[in-house]
A and B are shown apart, each in its own frame.
Chain A
Amino acid sequence: MNNLYTKTAMELIEDISKGKISSLDIVESLLDRIDKEDSSINAFVHLDRDKIIKDSKNLNGSTSKLKGIPVAIKDNICVEDELTTCCSKILEGFRPPYNATVIEKLKEAGAVCFGKTNMDEFAFGSSCETSCYGPTYNPWDTDRVPGGSSGGSAAAVANNEAVMALGSDTGGSIRQPAALCGVVGLKPTYGRVSRYGLIAFASSLDQIGPITRTVEDNALLLQVIAGHDKKDSTSADIEVPDYSSFFKKDLNGIKIGLPDEYFAEGLNPEVREKVEESKKILESLGASFHEVSLPHTEYAVSVYYIIATAEASSNLARFDGVQYGIRRQKTENRRQKTEDRIASGAKSHELKTPLIDMYEKTRGEGFGEEAKRRILLGTYALSSGYYEAYYLKAQKVRTLIKRDFDDVFKECDFIMTPTTPAPAFKKGEKINDPLAMYLSDIYTISANLAGIPAISLPCGFTKDKLPVGLQIMSKPFNEGGLFNVGYAFQQVTDFHKEKS
């Protein structure tokens, strides 16, 4: 057998249905592939082989939707009793006492949870370099980053170490690595997928979504994980359509907007060229293109880095060494006695109890550099005297950004842009310049701020054989429409079939 690891979920499900193969055959094929390949990619951070094999054998999956297909899981999604660490030292050894809703849904649909994938610590990053387990390498060029934060999920799928994977997207963390690794990544509409059990980064922006090699597989995986959940009050009580009904080969009558602001200065010429070629392909399928404007685009990164860090600083307050993860304590002789400090004129807010000492030491040692930077930025933006200037201001500009999209969607069904301004950058290139790193998300951030769905599709390669991603955005809850465009595009292109 075994080139099973190269097949798509749709192909594998058909083979299983015909009795040609079993879930265990697929799992063994992938584990074998990981043994050979993952030492140079580092896509997986936790992989309990015995558990995976046991789960695969114990399926009574022949009637289920996913029939024992393995799905790799980003390390910030809780899987009961399996290591879930957000690739952070502060969560070392954490085994959640419950499953995220998406995991419950995957299990009900007959999927096998296939290991935890590498990511930027707490999803803070665009390069997968801030993981406490070391970086993931781009399978197309291991001197380059896979993108982030779901870099492990994207690299695993691109390198055939996983059939499908879940990622999470707060400002581009599914789409940007999907683009840089040459796979399909979808950020669903805010509220389409339950966030219960997703370790929160920025609660008003986070969404879980699928990373796959084909649009059909992507739709299949969204079908399984989407839907209302009583455990997440922000999940939408809106019916989930049958996404396979959107697999149509033509795009007749469909209007696609091209926003000026996404094709301005700073766009890599090779990326521009591939996106322009994609436009011609979509036109040949029946779509019409229109110039549109999203005038507040240039403010999106600023708005995002206030809102996302402010929400993160609040969400990450729970990592304090009490309920889970590591605990660090100052030794008694390093602590100044309270009486001595009062005597030396310390103000009341400067007095520390052993508990507060423990918090500070634990968080100081447990969080990596980027996590600290973001918590500090978010805390600053929310602190007394700065709240209005930063946080409230950002929320107001968020309204303007959302209005831009509402206006365009009155005229157009979709908006098409590059997913990233450039192909995969070199390891280490941006790690010491946080602002340059933040600007690599310039095209993906707005969809999170507006809450709309967006997909990244492989749309070609640079001369150096680096993948380029095409982003399509749409109105809230029109994931089906994105699958229509993506499916039609993949029927007439082969970019998604090329191997690293």
Chain B
Amino acid sequence: MSPVIDSKNIEYVAKLARIELTLKEIEKITPQLSKILDYINKLNELDTEKVVPTTHVVDLKNVLRKDEVKKSLDRKKALQNTPDKEDGCFKVPKIIS
């Protein structure tokens, strides 16, 4: 049977997921994911045409509350874990090159 996905697919998906993969990783992961997807394709045995999908098992209701000002996370605490900051903001590399 031909593989469900090839290394080109993996490279594309890695790009979508914003993960840099080495060639070695791509070579290892491609057949593994192919095998897993092949197993998952078992679901196609089932006719689900008229079945309603389950997104959540509990009956979710929209939760509303009054729009009141409350104390929020202190700025210093919010920034305590960032690798880079400046003037009380998270600092990131250039967004436009």
Instruction: Report A's interface with B, CB cutoff 8 A.
Output: 93-95, 97-98, 190-191, 204, 230, 233-234, 236, 296, 298-299, 301-303, 305-306, 313, 317, 320-327, 329, 338, 349, 351-361, 363-365, 367, 369, 372-373, 375-377, 379-380, 383, 390, 392-400, 402, 434-435, 438, 449-451, 476
Contact = CB atoms under 8 A, between A and B. Distances in A.
A230 B48 CA distance: 36
Contact of A322 (B16, B17, B56, B90): B90
A353 B95 CA distance: 6
A94 B52 contact: no
B37 to A, nearest CB: 8
B73 A98 contact: yes
Contacts of A352: 97
A365 B44 CA distance: 36
B53 interface: yes
A356 B39 contact: no
A438 B21 contact: no
Contacts of A398: 53-54
A441 B9 CA distance: 28
Interface string B34-51: 011101101110101001
Nearest to B90: A322
A370 to B, nearest CB: 10
Contacts of A95: 80-81
Given A352-B97, A355-B94, A435-B35, 14 more contacts: A234-B58, A302-B43, A321-B83, A353-B96, A354-B95, A360-B18, A361-B20, A363-B17, A365-B20, A376-B33, A379-B17, A380-B9, A393-B44, A398-B54
A302 B45 CA distance: 12
Contacts of A375: 17, 19
B9 A234 contact: no
B40 A190 contact: no
A379 to B, nearest CB: 4
A319 to B, nearest CB: 10
B8 interface: no
Nearest to A364: B20
Nearest to A91: B81
A455 to B, nearest CB: 18
B8 to A, nearest CB: 12
Nearest to A356: B18
A387 to B, nearest CB: 11
Contact of B40 (A302, A365, A383, A449): A302
Interface of B: 5, 9-10, 13-22, 25, 28-29, 32-33, 35-37, 39-40, 42-44, 46, 48, 51-58, 60, 63, 65, 73-74, 77-78, 80-84, 90, 92-97
Q: Chain A's interface: helix, strand, loop or mixed, by majority?
A: helix
Contact of A355 (B43, B55, B95): B95
Contact of B92 (A358, A379, A390, A394): A358
Contact of B63 (A233, A349, A395): A233
3 shortest interchain CB distances as A-B pairs = A451-B57, A364-B20, A395-B53
A393 B33 CA distance: 18
30 contacts: A93-B81, A97-B74, A97-B81, A234-B56, A234-B58, A236-B58, A305-B40, A306-B40, A317-B18, A322-B92, A324-B82, A353-B94, A353-B95, A353-B96, A357-B93, A358-B92, A359-B18, A360-B18, A363-B19, A364-B20, A364-B21, A367-B19, A369-B28, A372-B25, A375-B19, A395-B54, A396-B53, A396-B54, A400-B46, A402-B57
Nearest to B77: A97
B92 A451 contact: no
A363 B33 contact: no
B13 A397 contact: no
Contacts of A363: 17-20
Given A377-B33, A392-B53, A299 B42 contact: yes
B43 A190 contact: no
B57 A376 contact: no
A372 B18 contact: no
A400 B50 CA distance: 11
Contacts of A367: 19
Nearest to B61: A233
A395 B52 CA distance: 8
Nearest to B46: A397
A399 to B, nearest CB: 5
Given A359-B18, A380-B9, A434-B36, A396 B29 contact: no
B57 A355 contact: no
Contacts of A449: 57
A269 B53 CA distance: 37
A215 B95 CA distance: 54
B1 to A, nearest CB: 15
Contacts of A327: 83-84
Contacts of A306: 40
Given A322-B82, A380-B5, A395-B53, A373 B95 contact: no
Contact of B52 (A325, A349, A399): A399
Contacts of A390: 40
Nearest to B83: A327
B33 to A, nearest CB: 6
Contacts of A322: 82-83, 90, 92
A395 B15 CA distance: 26
A376 B37 CA distance: 12
A306 B39 CA distance: 11
